[in-house]
Amino acid sequence: MFTGIVQATAGIAAIEDRAGLRTFTLEFPEGFCKDLEIGASVATDGVCLTVTELVSPTRANFDVMLQSLNITTLGSYGVGDHVNVERAAKDGAEIGGHPLSGHIDFSATLADVKHLENNVVWRVAVPADFRRYVFAKGYIAIHGASLTVAEVNRQEGWFEVWLIPETLRATVFANKKAGDQLNIEIERSTQVVVDTVRETVQESLGRLQPVLEALLKEKGLTLEDFVQAPSLPR
């Protein structure tokens, strides 16, 4: 499990392709690899990767299978690129963000970047199948960073997050621009609540559900608009 608090950024020092695998050699800041062992997990731009070799006190290798390369942004990276990294949370660790599994649900397009005086606002496009899981004031993970959703428009298919200067300093986000792809992990308890509500409605209404959804659509609403995103204890 991860907390969604990015601990550092790492550089891609080398890439080696083999049959069905791509090996990344990451260069970490001094001290990041202390007590790191083969088999340990490191979230890399939100993707849970396993250490396969300790190359030096600041370098480690990670094997990434073809499926992960295809559904995440890792397949587009080259030597010299930088990524957000977080080591797996230890038992009893403070959850500064929200619990993450490191399993990416989809990659999304950064549709717009707006620079304000002390903040940066991102508008992120969401595929239709995942819009139901994004709520204003809910949580979402982008490249492994736990962020709060500021605004959502399900009809147009986007949500917005605000990035404070500290987030920009501690992550790779300062270099992102419109058109870039982002790894997204939705908040699991929200997914469970939404899916449970939909299943309950389907069981209760049966063939009337499409009629209700059509009526709601005329009003610019969906069933998800009546679901409140669960809040996590702090």
CATH at residue 168: 2.40.30.20
State how many domains the chain has: 3
Is residue 98 a part of any domain in this protein? Answer: no
Q: Is a pLDDT exceeding 50 seen at residue 233?
A: no
- Is pTM beyond 0.85? Reply is no
Unique residue bearing structure tokens 């960073």? 145
Pairing of strands 82-87, 8-18: antiparallel
Higher pLDDT, 78 or 233: 78
Is 198 found in the same domain as 170? no
One domain, residues 150 and 219 = no
- Provide the residue range defining the domain that includes 74: 8-87
Taking each helix axis from N to C end, the angle separating 188-205 and 209-218, rounded to the nearest 10 degrees, works out to 120
Q: What is the pLDDT of residue 223?
A: 64
Query: Is the pLDDT assigned to residue 102 strictly greater than 60?
Result: yes
How far apart are alpha carbons 186 and 209 in whole angstroms? 25
Q: Which positions ≥6 away from 159 have C-beta within 8 Å?
A: 123, 124, 126, 134, 136, 140, 149, 150, 151, 152, 153
Is residue 36 one of the residues assigned to a domain?
yes
Work out the average pLDDT over 210-227: 65
Give the HSE-up count for residue 206: Cα atoms under 13 Å, Cβ half-sphere. Answer: 1
Which residue's structure tokens are 């094997």?
Answer: 63
Q: 116 and 172 in one domain?
A: yes
Q: What is the mean pLDDT of residues 2-24?
A: 95
